[in-house]
């Protein structure tokens, strides 16, 4: 048996073995664990922001915003929001109506820590009482 025939035989044996393996042997290596939906502590840093270069007087509406404007958690999570008012001239609130009933006023240059249990699923609007209709965000409890 020459070397070329020997090589062909080895290749044929290896291919036969690989072909006999179940597809799941390869698929298993690529499976990712599902995303966890177990209740956890979720921490967010929230800031007041504003539309740059916008003239509030000319527009007739506030240009204040929340950053981020969406907070997403899972039902059952304990949510901690560190809300920073980085402005030097006016207060802002973090207000979340029923069923959460949160209304935290934060004077200029200060911050507040808001902690609650996300025990109601759905989409809830949070807002600043002083800067509607623009300073709003969404709490998504999935
Ligand atoms: Cu505000």
Please write the tens of the pLDDT for every residue from 66-120: 999 999 999 999 999 999 999 999 999 999 999 999 999 999 999 999 999 999 9
Which residues keep their CB under 5 angstroms from ion ligand 1? 64, 92, 128, 130-131, 135
| Contact of 137 with 127, CB cutoff 8 Å | yes
User: pTM of the prediction?
Assistant: 0.73
- Whole-angstrom distance, CA of residue 31 vs CA of residue 122: 30
Ligand 1 centre to CA of 136 (Å) is 9
Ligand 1 centre to CA of 91 (Å) is 6
């Amino acid at each position: 048996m020459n070397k070329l025939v020997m090589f062909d035989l080895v290749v044929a044996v290896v291919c036969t073995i690989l072909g006999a393996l179940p597809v799941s042997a390869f698929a298993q290596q690529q499976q990712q664990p599902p995303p966890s939906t177990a209740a956890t502590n979720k921490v967010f840093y929230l800031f007041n922001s504003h539309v740059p270069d916008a003239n509030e007087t000319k527009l007739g509406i506030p240009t204040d915003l929340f950053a981020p404007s969406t907070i997403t958690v899972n039902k059952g999570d304990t949510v901690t929001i560190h809300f920073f008012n980085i402005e030097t001239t006016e207060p802002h609130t973090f207000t979340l109506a029923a069923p959460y009933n949160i209304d935290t006023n934060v004077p200029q240059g200060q911050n507040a820590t808001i902690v609650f249990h996300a025990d109601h699923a759905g989409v809830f609007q949070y807002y600043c009482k002083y800067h509607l209709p623009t300073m709003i965000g969404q709490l998504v409890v999935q």
